[in-house]
């Protein structure tokens, strides 16, 4: 057996045993399980690369069915994501300024004239507060 294949096989066995220990317990830590999963995947890839370099054969793990989503579903979701990305990150339309307000007489009214009329009405309210309430 090649030294590289033998070394990759040892790493793969260790990763699989560690994975079995982590996920085989009664309380499974998500972080630990994810780390163990990643180590198994990396070790399997390294083993497949060593086999391919020595013998020219493809990966022995290609026919393993992934428990995830089907390829057609993944492709559909990826297409939808790309479509949304293009529509949401496209150019932002520039809004035109609002039209000026015209009074009933057809003339423009600015904000200052509105403020003056508000101040006058406030002064009227102040006068009422100064008067003492009438007793019955």
pLDDT digits (tens, 9 = 90+) for 86-115: 776 666 678 888 776 555 555 555 555 455
* Residue bearing the bigger pLDDT, 42 or 1: 42
Segments in 56-130 forming alpha helices (H): 71-88, 111-130
* pTM tops 0.85: no
Section 2-15 average pLDDT: 92
Residue 17 banded pLDDT, cuts 50, 70, 90: very high
Residue 107, phi then psi, degrees to nearest 5: -95, 155
Has residue 65 got a pLDDT over 80? no
Section 42-56 average pLDDT: 89
Has residue 11 got a pLDDT over 70? yes
In angstroms, what CA-CA distances link 10 with 5, 43, 103, 112? 9, 9, 87, 84
Q: Of the candidates 3, 5, 1, which has an alpha carbon nearest to the alpha carbon of residue 48? A: 5
Section 3-14 average pLDDT: 93
């Amino acid at each position: 057996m090649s030294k590289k294949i033998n070394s990759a096989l040892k790493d793969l066995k260790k990763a699989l045993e560690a994975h079995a220990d982590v996920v085989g317990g009664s309380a499974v830590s998500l972080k630990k399980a994810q780390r163990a999963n990643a180590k198994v995947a990396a070790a399997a890839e390294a083993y497949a690369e060593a086999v391919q370099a020595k013998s020219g054969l493809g990966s022995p793990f290609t026919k393993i069915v992934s428990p995830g989503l089907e390829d057609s579903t993944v492709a559909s979701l990826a297409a939808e994501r790309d479509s949304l990305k293009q529509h949401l990150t496209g150019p932002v339309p520039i809004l035109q300024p609002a039209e000026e307000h015209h009074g009933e007489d057809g003339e423009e009214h600015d904000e200052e004239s509105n403020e003056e009329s508000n101040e006058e009405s406030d002064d009227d309210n102040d006068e009422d507060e100064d008067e003492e309430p009438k007793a019955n």
